[in-house]
């Protein structure tokens, strides 16, 4: 078979060689994370993704060696393929920086800006995008769009107000579960993700919609409001699963498994799709073989908890009281909220005061 020709592309002054047919975005990712444009709708593992959000716009300042004319308009890098000798500007182009700021403003027009109570906070691509490319204020003065609260099945919560209509979840349902029962209804300002006639989505791999959603529009009901991701310790773990690869990331606090997700690569994309049983039902550390701490990008707020290579300060207390742990004060003696035999991760849905009151009443 004849070898595929390699095209030379320069992105923000970094030159790489890629096979013909590669998109500018893929070439930029090869050149490195510093020059790669952000992508809110493109997902390399989902066929046909991209072309919806416009966050990946770049300027082509030279079309190719053969035809060096620049492209007149900014182009979506996830949908435009490279030519030999092409020169692309991402962050080095004022036009791109300005356009991206406009795109972020549009994406946030109807967004409720509820990061303080959103479960996606800390790992939200829209949050990162607005910090890196957005404006500090909003010019929008009208009432924001709202929707009825909606569930996709009994394990997945949809907050339509946060959705950016990237279509990734629709593609996951289409391409992974083999039977899609939700999609985008209506058009324009009224467009919304909806399941058809309230049918619940109980397909084996549907939980992956939570992992591909770049914002907090789709969240895991078994984890909602239980903890902040940056307080949890991400661990690589696996189990012998008959349905999927069983390779996951556990999000623990101590021995409690608060959340199970698929493992993600440096672009935030799932490495191996996982099944619903692994994601929603295996919430005990004993269900898993722990491989070790998960590597987290140092740019992420989650890396605040990172402990690989951590240099521990000298523990004087050990020297004073010896190695045996000795409690000076047992918090459970003075607080009814923080009962020691209460496993937060095993409470169905968000933990409410009633979870504790019920127990108190039984005691009386």
Distance CA 155, CA 349 (A): 9
Binding mask 167-206 for ligand SF4 (x = CB under 6 A): xxx-----------------------x-------------
90 binding ligand FES? (CB under 6 A): no
Distance CA 217, CA 114 (A): 11
Considering CB distances under 5 to 8 angstroms, the limit depending on partner class, which of ligand FES, ligand SF4, none binds residue 124? none
241 binding ligand SF4? (CB under 6 A): no
Of 10 and 130, the one with the shorter C-beta distance to ligand SF4 is 130
Task: Single out the segment in contact with ligand FES by CB under 6 A; choices: 53-61, 87-95, 139-147, 258-266.
Answer: 53-61
Distance CA 163, CA 216 (A): 8
152 binding ligand SF4? (CB under 6 A): no
Q: How many CB atoms lie within 10 A of CB 307?
A: 9
100 SS3 class: helix
φ and ψ at residue 98, rounded to 5 degrees: -70, -45
Q: Which residues touch 75 (CB under 8 Å, ≥6 apart)?
A: 24, 57, 58, 60
76 binding ligand FES? (CB under 6 A): yes
Minimum CB–partner distance for residue 339 and ligand SF4 (Å): 36
118 binding ligand SF4? (CB under 6 A): no
Of 60 and 212, the one with the shorter C-beta distance to ligand SF4 is 212
Among 8, 14, 51, 81, binds ligand FES (CB under 6 A): 51
Minimum CB–partner distance for residue 170 and ligand SF4 (Å): 6
Distance CA 186, CA 163 (A): 14
42 binding ligand SF4? (CB under 6 A): no
262 binding ligand SF4? (CB under 6 A): no
Give me 333's structure tokens. Answer: 């003696």
Minimum CB–partner distance for residue 181 and ligand FES (Å): 25
**Burial letters for 218-238: b for 16+ Cβ neighbours within 10 Å, e otherwise?**
bbbbbbbebbebeebbbbbbb
78 binding ligand FES? (CB under 6 A): yes
Of 28 and 215, the one with the shorter C-beta distance to ligand SF4 is 215
Distance CA 318, CA 324 (A): 8
160 binding ligand FES? (CB under 6 A): no
304 SS3 class: helix
Minimum CB–partner distance for residue 40 and ligand FES (Å): 5
Give me 295's structure tokens. Answer: 């590597």
CB 92 within 8 A of CB 61: no
Minimum CB–partner distance for residue 28 and ligand SF4 (Å): 22
58 binding ligand FES? (CB under 6 A): no
Q: Computed from CA positions of residues 54, 58, 62, 66, in that sequence, does the dihedral angle turn out positive or negative?
A: negative
φ and ψ at residue 88, rounded to 5 degrees: -125, 140
Of 18 and 169, the one with the shorter C-beta distance to ligand SF4 is 169
40 binding ligand FES? (CB under 6 A): yes
Considering CB distances under 5 to 8 angstroms, the limit depending on partner class, which of ligand FES, ligand SF4, none binds residue 129? none
Q: How far is CA 82 from the centre of its chain?
A: 28
16 binding ligand SF4? (CB under 6 A): no
- DSSP of 142-162: SPPP----EEETTTEEE-GGG
Q: How many residues does the chain have?
A: 364
Minimum CB–partner distance for residue 3 and ligand FES (Å): 29
Binding site for ligand FES (CB under 6 A): 39-42, 50-56, 76, 78
């Amino acid at each position: 078979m004849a070898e595929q020709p390699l095209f030379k592309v320069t992105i923000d002054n970094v030159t790489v060689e890629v096979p013909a047919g590669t998109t500018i975005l893929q070439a930029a990712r090869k050149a490195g994370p510093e020059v790669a444009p952000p992508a809110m709708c493109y997902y390399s593992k989902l066929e046909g993704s991209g072309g919806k959000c416009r966050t990946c716009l770049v300027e082509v300042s030279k079309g190719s060696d053969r035809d060096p004319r620049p492209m007149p308009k900014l182009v979506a890098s996830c949908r435009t393929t490279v030519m030999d000798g092409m020169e692309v500007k991402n962050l080095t182009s004022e036009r791109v920086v300005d356009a991206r700021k406009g795109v972020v403003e549009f994406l946030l027009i109807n967004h409720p800006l509820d990061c303080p109570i959103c479960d996606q906070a800390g790992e939200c691509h829209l949050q990162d995008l607005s910090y890196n490319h957005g404006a500090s204020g909003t010019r929008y003065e009208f009432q924001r769009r709202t929707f009825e609260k909606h569930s996709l099945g009994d394990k997945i919560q949809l907050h339509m107000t946060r959705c950016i209509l990237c279509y990734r979840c629709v593609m996951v349902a289409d391409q992974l579960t083999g039977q899609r029962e939700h999609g985008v209804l209506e058009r324009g300002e009224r467009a919304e993700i909806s399941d058809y006639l309230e049918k619940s989505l109980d397909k084996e791999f549907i939980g992956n919609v939570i992992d591909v959603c770049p914002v907090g529009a789709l969240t895991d009901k078994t984890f909602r409001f239980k903890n902040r991701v940056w307080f949890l310790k991400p661990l690589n773990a696996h189990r012998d699963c008959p349905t999927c690869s069983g390779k996951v990331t556990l999000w623990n606090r101590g021995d409690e498994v608060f959340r199970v997700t698929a493992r993600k690569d440096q672009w935030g994309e799932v490495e191996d799709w996982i099944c619903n049983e692994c994601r929603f039902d295996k919430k005990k550390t004993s269900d898993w073989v722990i491989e070790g701490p998960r590597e987290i990008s140092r740019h992420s707020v989650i890396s605040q908890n990172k402990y690989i290579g951590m240099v521990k300060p000298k523990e004087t207390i050990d020297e004073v009281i010896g190695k045996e742990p000795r409690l000076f004060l047992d918090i459970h003696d003075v607080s009814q909220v923080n009962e020691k035999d209460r496993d937060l991760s095993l409470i169905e849905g968000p933990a409410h005061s009633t979870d504790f009151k019920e127990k108190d009443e039984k005691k009386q």
